[in-house]
Structure 1
């Protein structure tokens, strides 16, 4: 015996309600699996963006300090930044940047920027001191933990780079 067409079943019929509920179950099950990430469903159901949004990422501070006779500008500055959580880093060209004088030294100044970098991805910064000045760079995780440091010769480019570490699992 054939199932009656839903259009021929009255809207208030318990039979029509049961058919509609049974049709909704596969969609609901797929949505729940996507949210929970069960059994490899992440990539099969298009939920890969969910895993990227919850990926571990570091707050990275890039610093370039200059010392010498010309400390107002740092040239050709670029640094790595993840476009969003879970993504690979890409280079941002900042160009020539202004520095901030350090309070404890009349011949030193610093430029800083914060960026997000996914755990286990590359973090890098580069810049060039003006003639007569020396540039040093550092990369800090969460503003505290130093993962790279370097100093260049006067007037030459300085570069720091490191792969950010994985988060420790508890």
Structure 2
């Protein structure tokens, strides 16, 4: 048989462990909820938020032809610097993968040679088309541009 003193000590020990367990569980749950609600801010603090895009250019008239292709991208996702590339006499179809920082403009322009017609597309992660355009007339440039989502984890529909 246990004495009243031992029973009281055991009861206090049980209460102590329940309180410690509840406190640890509340801290873990609170930390998870805070991280979920502040994921965007955490990503902004660490820097380097960018979108991986694919620029594509093609001939609308069916024959592969040459075109001047110009596009812009961020060479380093941790810096705001833009780089502009211009490729003369590029054989179509053409594509390249680039990185564009969040909240910045993604742009590609395709100017076909002669009286050709061209088209361009910008794809998110190589799958989802976020911009497309065709030449308005022979020898005129097809220009695709879109401002990337400023939220690192979601691109609006």
When normalised by structure 1's length, the TM-score is 0.56
- The verdict on how the C-alpha distance between 1:91 and 1:158 changes in structure 2, with shifts beyond 3 A counting, is farther
Question: Secondary structure at the residue paired with 2:126?
Answer: coil
Residue of structure 1 in register with 2:125 after alignment = 142
Q: CA RMSD in A?
A: 2.2
Distance between the aligned counterparts of 1:57 and 1:69, measured in 2? 34
Do 2:65 and 2:112's aligned partners in 1 also have CA atoms closer than 8 Å? no
Displacement after TM superposition at 1:118 (Å): 1.2
Q: For structure 1, list consecutive stretches of 5 or more residues without a partner in the other structure.
A: 1-49, 100-108
- The verdict on how the C-alpha distance between 1:69 and 1:144 changes in structure 2, with shifts beyond 3 A counting, is closer
Displacement after TM superposition at 1:158 (Å): 1.4
Q: For structure 2, list consecutive stretches of 5 or more residues without a partner in the other structure.
A: 1-44
Would you identify which runs of 4 or more consecutive aligned residues in structure 1 move more than 4 Å? none
Is residue 2:73 matched to residue 1:86?
no
Is residue 2:107 matched to residue 1:124?
yes
Displacement after TM superposition at 1:112 (Å): 0.5
When normalised by structure 2's length, the TM-score is 0.60
Residue of structure 2 in register with 1:13 after alignment = none
Aligned length: 108
Q: CA offsets per residue over residues 49-96 of structure 1, 9 Å max, x none? A: x833xx321111011111338633112x21111121133352422321
Displacement after TM superposition at 1:132 (Å): 2.6
Residue of structure 1 in register with 2:152 after alignment = 167
